[in-house]
Amino acid sequence: MNTIYILNGPNLNLLGKRQPEIYGSETLDDVETLCRSVCADGFDVKLMQSNNEGQLVDWIHDARHEACGIVINPGAYTHTSIAILDALHTFEGPVMEVHISQVHKREAFRHHSYVSMRADGVIAGLGLEGYAAGVRRICQLV
Ligand code: DQA
């Protein structure tokens, strides 16, 4: 089990096209390439994205048997989803929560994260570098 799951929530399939002034012009493919390039020898990454909460929950359950750590950008579900929080509580490895934007500089509804109640690390505002930091940290921890 040396696979690191990189899970992405709603609207992140449009990364690169969606509000580039906030999220930049790079795509999820770029995220995958970056994560693969920084993961330590012997580790691999598997990037997934869904616009559906239940699908993200199912992938977190899969991670229980298939992944050594999870980097997750839950998108807007960060601020609403107790189901994703509960699913992450069933996972025993390290969890890194990533936000491309600096959510604390934005609207008040983005300041609260359910996922942070489980995450071992929280990264916001570093752009795609946040994913790389999450992967590096998981490689250190496992
Ligand atoms: C986001 C921040 C969320 O508030 C937002 O809903 C997203 C992306 C980020 O990466 O900055 O979809 O998680």
For residue 112, pLDDT beyond 90: yes
The set of residues, in sequence order, having a beta carbon less than 8 Å from that of 102 and lying 6+ positions away, is 124, 125
**Mean per-residue pLDDT for 59-75?**
98
Q: Measuring from atom 7 of ligand 1, which residue has the nearest CA?
A: 75
60 band by pLDDT with thresholds 50, 70 and 90:
very high
Residue 1 has pLDDT above 90, yes or no: no
In the structure encoding, which two tokens stand for residue 84, read together? 């994703």
d(C-alpha 19, C-alpha 33), whole Å: 22
Mean pLDDT of the chain: 98
CATH numbers and ranges of domains, the chain: 3-141 (3.40.50.9100)
Q: What is the pTM of this model?
A: 0.98
Checking if the pLDDT of 28 tops 90, the result is yes
Q: Report whether 139 contacts 42 (CB < 8 A).
A: no
Identify the H or E element spanning 44. Answer: strand 44-49
Does residue 18 carry a pLDDT above 90?
yes
| Ligand 1 center–CA 2 separation, angstroms | 27
Mean pLDDT over residues 113-135, rounded? 98
Is the pLDDT score of 109 beyond 90? Answer: yes
Among protein residues, the one whose CA lies closest to atom 8 of ligand 1: 75
Q: Does the beta carbon of 75 sit less than 6 angstroms from any atom of ligand 1?
A: yes
Mean pLDDT, residues 42-70 = 98
Listed residue (131, 24, 127, 19) closest to 69, CA to CA? 131
Percent of the chain whose pLDDT exceeds 90: 99
In the reported structure, the alpha carbon of residue 66 is separated from the centroid of ligand 1 by a whole-number distance in angstroms of 26
Which atom of ligand 1 approaches the CA of 110 most closely?
A: 4
